[in-house]
Amino acid sequence: MPSKKNKPKPKRLLSRAEAEALEKGVYAAPRKPRKLTLPDNLSNNLGERKRIRRRSSRKVTHEDPPEEPVTNVEPDESDHSEEDVNLGLEPEVELDESDSSEDDKIDSEPLQSASSSDEDTPIEETPRSEDDGGETPIVPLQDLVQMVDDLDIGDIITEVNMAPAWFQRENDLDDISDVIYPSGITPTRTHKNVAHFRNVTNRKSFFGGKTVRIKEDTLDTLITALSEFAREYDGNLSFTQKELPYEDTYCAACGIGDLGSTHLLATDYISTARFSFHTELSYDDDLKKSAATMKSFVLTFVTSVAEVLGLQGNEYIRVLSVVKDEEDGGKANVNLGVTTPDRKETEKLAESLQDYATSGFRNHPRLREVRSDNYSYAWKPLLSYLQVKRDEFDENHNFNYNRSGLRREGMRGNRPYYVPMGWYRYALDVFNKYSDETKDRWIGCQNIPGEWPIAYYGTNGNFIHDLERNQISLDQERFDPMREESIRQMGEKMNEQGFYVFPKCNGGAYPWHTKTFEVPITPKKNSRFRVVFQCRVKPGQFTVHTCPITNCEMWRVVDTEAVRPYGVLVRKMKAKKHPDDESESDG
């Protein structure tokens, strides 16, 4: 979607109603939308957003020596409940890793109430142009990228899942007819994802009525962990064999991620400005009456917001849900998110939208039903789908860090490697995945040139909440607390948006930057666990700092390609509330 050419616009003539108002001294010129020009690296041209990474089908067998056991080191104390399984794995192979007059009315009127429209007719509106006598010039979008992928219409809330048209997910679990879920448990989205994964990997998709057991050595547990991670950001899993077609940052801004880009969400690098707009529409009478009506309303709302913000496409705008406000006579509230690949640009769009909505969209042909109010927005990453490929797991390099006799420290990439004692690693198949000069040396364990050091990141990377809770003021750099210090260390190349990883799992990424996930295993019991991602970081592409929250070491990175996840760590928590749980935010 190349930038639009600046063409001179004809001078707009006032409508009859406007002219009369001008004579009376009460006419105010309509407010024009603010045009925001995104930088070149945020071009909306999908054809320019080629994915850099290429994966070869060639399998490479890593032949590095196993970790040497040290018998004089006590194993890490961790919970071993009756559900834990003692694993007898071989030693690790260290891979670590208008308001117009009546005469000027046209088809683009705001949504009519049920009493004046056909009950099952989708909403159809046409943008009002200047020649039509409208008060707000609207430029129709060139590209409708975001589409309504799924609707779950309820009496109080309609959950909306939007995804870009270029994304193709697998068939729904509804296509699987032989699933038998555990007795006494209401299947959650996570249970369904496990069943779906069993089906796409040609395994039995039924649970046989048995209790779900979270074991630290099964793919079911890994899918459970990934499903809960996606759900944390309002997303779901999609199992496929296809590569994402565009760059990670663009895909993530459109709501699509994969296991190689989890750091963009988990570290809060790609975040979403979330709004809740109040409308004058009745949830029951105007919107809920049919799926076609709701779907048309959602797509129209997203497209209209993108037009107001001067965007050429709607890929960066998504509706999350439509909610019935029972305290406001059943009016509909619309929860909406704005995301771009760059936080500064997202913030510009959010501030512009906040300004428009606060003063009201009264002159907009399709947003006039949005009530003017003192709107604010909150930051949180938003995911539609986390894409999981069926063959991107490398079970040969899974490893149990609960074993005794393991060294607690080593060296990787000329940096200390702190072993994640007490965790179980599910290895990702990353051999020959990245085409660069290091080939597969980046993931070696011999501490040689070309090797990248090891780091970790959790699933709760929102610095804002943590810093506010600890009463740390960061002024304008509230999203990137160590930016100035990073620039002093490595110069202007670090003067870009950054994100943070930790060289330590225990005492770094965990527990303060993780969150406890729970999955029902019996009608009266849940299994509790936490998730951390293990990665490598390119040497010379990060600066070293002390975390202002925990005083532990952390690394600041600005190049999203300089971090490569290669393992998912899962740690089973005790049945009762763990002391570390005090560190997590429930709000």
Nearest to 420 by CA among 538, 528, 508, 500: 508
Q: What is the DSSP letter of 286?
A: I
Q: Do 438 and 566 belong together in one domain?
A: yes
Q: Residue 196 has what pLDDT? A: 84
Cβ-in-10-Å burial (0-12, 13-18, 19+) of 250 comes to buried
Cα–Cα distance for residue pair 256/345, rounded to 1 Å = 19
Contacts with 533 (C-beta within 8 Å, 6 or more apart), sequence order:
262, 263, 266, 456, 457, 458, 565, 567, 568, 569
Distance CA 371, CA 281 (A): 10
| Judgement on whether residues 398 and 547 belong to the same structural domain of the protein | yes
Number of CB atoms found within 10 A of residue 223's CB: 23
Distance (Å, whole) CA 392 – CA 259: 9
Within a domain: 23: no
| Among 241, 261, 284, residue at a domain's last position | 241
Contact 242, 392 (CB under 8 A): no
Which of the 8 DSSP states describes residue 287? I
Residue 18: inside a domain, yes or no?
Answer: no
Measured in Å, how far apart are the chain's first and last C-alpha atoms? 39
**Residue 457 sits in the same domain as residue 374:** no
Q: How far is CA 433 from the centre of its chain?
A: 23
Question: How many other CB atoms are found less than 10 A from the CB of residue 265?
Answer: 26
Last residue of a domain, one of 345, 380, 415: 380
Place of tokens 């448990």: 185
Residues 313 and 189 in one domain: no
Bridge partners (DSSP) listed for residue 557? 499, 542
Q: Contact at 8 Å (CB) between 86 and 402?
A: no
Question: Are 412 and 558 in the same domain?
Answer: yes
pLDDT of 126 reads 39
Residue 446 has what DSSP assignment? S
Provide CB contacts within 8 A for 61, sequence distance 6+: none
d(CA 92, CA 95): 8
**Same domain, residue pair 371 and 480:** no
Q: Which residues pair with 388 in a beta bridge?
A: 239
DSSP string, 128-148: PPGGGT-SS-----SB--EEE
Q: How far is it, in rounded angstroms, from Cα 450 to Cα 409?
A: 20
Q: Quick one: 230 and 281 in the same domain?
A: no
Burial of 347 from C-beta contacts in 10 A (0-12 / 13-18 / 19+): middle
Residue 564 lies in a domain: yes
pLDDT the model gives residue 201: 78
Q: Judge whether 385 lies within some domain.
A: no
Is residue 237 within 8 Å of 193, Cβ to Cβ?
A: yes
Round to whole Å and give the CA distance between 490 and 26.
58
How many structural domains is the chain composed of?
3
Residue numbers of the domain that contains 534: 393-583
Asked if the structure places residue 418 within a domain, the reply is yes
- Do residue 152 and residue 199 come from a single domain? no
pTM reported for the whole predicted model: 0.75
The angle that helices 343-359 and 291-308 make with each other, rounded to 10 degrees, is 110
Structure token pair of residue 405:
């006799």
Nearest to 54 by CA among 199, 223, 260: 260
For residue 587, the model assigns a pLDDT of 30
> Of the residues 331, 355, 380, which one is the last residue of a structural domain?
380
| Residues 60-79: b if buried by 16+ CB within 10 A, e if exposed | eeeeeeebeeeeeeeebeeb
Q: Based on the domain organization, do 192 and 231 belong to the same domain?
A: yes
Distance CA 387, CA 274 (A): 23
The beta strand positions in 64-223, using DSSP E, are 146-153, 157-164
* DSSP-assigned states of every residue in 111-126: PPPGGGS-TTPPP---
| Same structural domain, 282 and 189 | no
Pairing of strands 542-546, 317-325: unpaired
Cβ(560)–Cβ(498) under 8 Å? no
Residues 6+ apart with CB under 8 A from 524: none
Same domain, 369 and 419: no
| Whether 344 and 437 share a structural domain | no
**Cα-based torsion angle of the residue sequence 253, 259, 260, 262 in order, rounded to the nearest 10 degrees:** 50
Q: Are 4 and 312 in contact (CB under 8 A)?
A: yes
Distance CA 61, CA 136 (A): 63
| Dist CA 318 CA 382 (whole Å) | 9
Closest CA to 446 of 60, 59, 61, 67: 67
Q: Is residue 306 domain-resident?
A: yes
DSSP string, 221-270: HHHHHHHHHHHHTT-EEEEESPPPSB-HHHHHHTTEEETTSHHHHHTTSS
The pLDDT, as a whole number, for residue 17 is 47
Q: Is residue 32 a part of any domain in this protein? A: no
Token pair, residue 472, equals: 């740390």
Q: Which helix (H) or strand (E) holds 325?
A: strand 317-325
Q: CATH number, domain at 314?
A: 3.30.70
> What is the model's pLDDT at position 194?
86
- Residue 203 in domain: yes
The stretches in the chain having pLDDT less than 50 are: 1-136, 464-465, 467-477, 578-587
Q: List, as own/partner pairs, every contact residues 399-403 make where C-beta atoms lie below 8 angstroms and the sequence separation is at least 24, other chains included.
A: 399/89, 399/92, 399/424, 399/425, 399/427, 400/87, 400/89, 400/216, 400/217, 400/424, 400/425, 401/76, 401/425, 401/569, 402/75, 402/76, 402/78, 402/87, 402/216, 403/75, 403/87, 403/89
